[in-house]
Structure 1
Amino acid sequence: MTTTPYLSRRHLLLAAAATPLASALPFSARADAPMMGASLAPYRRFKLGAFEVTTLLAGTRTVPDPHKIFGLNASDEEFAAASKANFIPTDAAQFFFTPTLINTGSEVILFDTGLSPAGTIAAIEAAGYTADQIDRVVITHMHGDHIGGIYEGAPTFANASYSTGEVEMDHWDMSGNDGFEAKIRPIQDQFDLMKEGSAVASGITAMEAFGHTPGHLAFHVESEGERLILGADFANHYVYSLAHPDWEVLYDTDKSMAAQTRRNMLDMMATDRVPFIGYHMPFPALGYVAARDGGFDYVPASYQTMIEG
């Protein structure tokens, strides 16, 4: 418990008497107090049963005119109303890029690799790990902000094996995409390919969450009866994607399938009261889902993961 030091009447009188003297000092005699700018902790760690889960802030970016990304099938009035109701502007949105580390006690698994090696490695090292300690890298899907940190002239995680979805790999293998060619092609033959129910490790299994990309995967994590969903990009905004899961998103390959996947997953998490990590949710990217008015609310995690037992 935090306590406030006792202040006697004499202390208060002395403090009051000193106030005019402080204000009378010439401005030049006062120390400068340079502004430090906004800050974000680069990681957040919590226990999930016997596992240790760490979310990593690999980068953040302000994006203008979010209605050109979210709610393509919503009117300007609907978009403005949803924004106003949640105290966020209509002319800009903040994107977060959040890979996740899971330490199972026997191996360290990294889910997605951020925009570049630099941002992801900085967050990994701030969290107390090194790139060489990563045993496995799992790619949820092949968009550039998820594969950007996996390879740059050489593998970023020299001791790691790799896993991704079979459907996802097949799609991008034939796409001619520059990002895939630069980041995945050099190590493609080292990937294990997964499908629904494939195990990354004991207690961590793949879930088909198709639509955002053709083979997009989420992951169900369970240890000692505690559960978590690694949602990746099934929902990309904590307001627009949850309150309006049927709103179309620019980056979804199959918009109808993505909307159905979003609604199915959100309904499951709300019904089962399972927390999730969303790659683009406000950092530290961990929250819960509550059903409301045909849509859902995002409930950011507070102290739930700090309480054991």
Structure 2
Amino acid sequence: MTTLTRRHALLSAAALPFAASLTASPAVAKAQPQGVSVPLHNRFKLGAFEVTTLLSGTRTGDKPQETFGTNASAEDFAALSAANFLPVDKSQNFFTPTLVNTGAELVLFDTGLSAEGTLAAMTAAGITPEQVDVVVLTHMHGDHIGGLMGADGTTPTFANARYVTGAAEHNYWAGAANEGFDKNVKPLNDKFTFLEDGGSPVSGITAMAAFGHSPGHMVYVVESNGQRLAITADTANHYVWSLQKPEWEVRFDADKAAAAATRKQVFGMIAADRIPFIGYHMPFPALGFVEPLGDGFRYVPASYQLMMEG
């Protein structure tokens, strides 16, 4: 026989309000939902260099096959998307300038859609625009040159910087009567130097011709203390639709056959050398690896490989 002591009775009485709460209506959180959130910067070491990717913007797009895989059948596009857990009716685009601090100079690769977005990411990373020594433009599309000028449209965002780009790229756009180029790049022409394939904007960084996406599109290989990283810009615009199927055409590629050949060449090199790369439109933090997969490549997002000290 169980004896009910005074202590048991008191504990049972104290538990009654809690038990009642379990049968009451569900609690409503006092905190309001904040919406989707992603970090604005990611930083890691590459040898003696420090590399920071900046999320200058991200947006959702509809009808992705109007941009990616335009020469693929709807059935093939849907099948590849499903195999990679992707919706077939939407895509997410990312815009990722990159900072490389060599210890001697702070180098910014591309400037985003606007100064506002890029500066917000730089602020989150603890960097001011006055600290940028060199701005390298991989090519002249609007989402790469949009941050060159401030909100007033006349004041350079990176007032202390010199500017570097490929000669072929600059020569093409200088004669194209392009509004974005004329507004953002032309006022800075006297501060530019121009590279050919194999040129170097600063010590430890080498340009490599990757034409096709634009007439003079360049990628850059960064090397420090035997460690290498490729900054591939828009060589591939999507981590599945452009990498697994490098021959699938992209609406924004100027020369689609050349762009496909360049994708195979550049990512073939990256896969063979097993080096990391930063892709301007890859899912943020835009850093990963590739390995051969069929006629293309499988994207492997970086986890902690470049985070370890020592």
State the TM-score, normalizing by the size of structure 1.
Answer: 0.92
Shift of 1:22: 3.6
Alignment pair present for 1:23 and 2:58: no
Cα distance change, pair 31–188 in 1 and its aligned pair in 2 (3 A): same
Matching residue's letter, 2:135: V
Identity level (%): 57
Structure 2 CA distance for aligned equivalents of residues 44 and 284 of structure 1 = 6
Structure 1 CA distance for aligned equivalents of residues 264 and 28 of structure 2 = 57
Match of 1:113 in 2: 111
Alignment pair present for 1:162 and 2:163: yes
Match of 2:218 in 1: 217
Match of 1:130 in 2: 128
Cα displacement string for residues 12-68 of structure 1 (whole angstroms, at most 9, x for unaligned residues): x9x9987524435667x8652311111100000000000000000000011110101
Matching residue's letter, 1:134: V
Matching residue's letter, 1:61: R
Alignment pair present for 1:58 and 2:56: yes
Matched residue SS, 2:168: helix
Shift of 1:294: 1.6
Match of 2:203 in 1: 202
Structure 1 CA distance for aligned equivalents of residues 16 and 140 of structure 2 = 65
Matching residue's letter, 1:260: A
Match of 1:299 in 2: 300
Cα distance change, pair 188–35 in 1 and its aligned pair in 2 (3 A): same
Cα displacement string for residues 99-133 of structure 1 (whole angstroms, at most 9, x for unaligned residues): 00001111111000000000000101110000111
**Root mean square deviation of aligned Cα:** 1.9
Gapped runs of 5+ residues in structure 1? 1-12
Matched residue SS, 1:281: coil
Structure 1 CA distance for aligned equivalents of residues 51 and 155 of structure 2 = 27
Structure 2 CA distance for aligned equivalents of residues 114 and 165 of structure 1 = 18
Structure 1 CA distance for aligned equivalents of residues 69 and 15 of structure 2 = 56
Match of 2:279 in 1: 278
Matching residue's letter, 1:57: L
Match of 1:9 in 2: none
Match of 1:190 in 2: 191
Structure 2 CA distance for aligned equivalents of residues 95 and 175 of structure 1 = 26
Match of 1:4 in 2: none
Matching residue's letter, 1:141: H
Shift of 1:307: 2.1
Structure 2 CA distance for aligned equivalents of residues 19 and 240 of structure 1 = 53
Cα displacement string for residues 164-198 of structure 1 (whole angstroms, at most 9, x for unaligned residues): 10000000000001111111111112111011111
State the TM-score, normalizing by the size of structure 2.
Answer: 0.92
Match of 2:8 in 1: none
Cα distance change, pair 31–289 in 1 and its aligned pair in 2 (3 A): closer
Match of 1:46 in 2: 44
Matched residue SS, 1:306: coil
Matched residue SS, 1:307: coil
Match of 2:265 in 1: 264
Cα distance change, pair 224–177 in 1 and its aligned pair in 2 (3 A): same
Matched residue SS, 2:278: strand
Matching residue's letter, 1:285: A
Matched residue SS, 2:189: helix
Structure 2 CA distance for aligned equivalents of residues 145 and 21 of structure 1 = 58
Structure 1 CA distance for aligned equivalents of residues 119 and 17 of structure 2 = 50
Gapped runs of 5+ residues in structure 2? 1-11
Alignment pair present for 1:70 and 2:55: no
Shift of 1:95: 0.3
Cα distance change, pair 16–245 in 1 and its aligned pair in 2 (3 A): farther
Matching residue's letter, 1:50: A
- Which is greater in Rg? 2
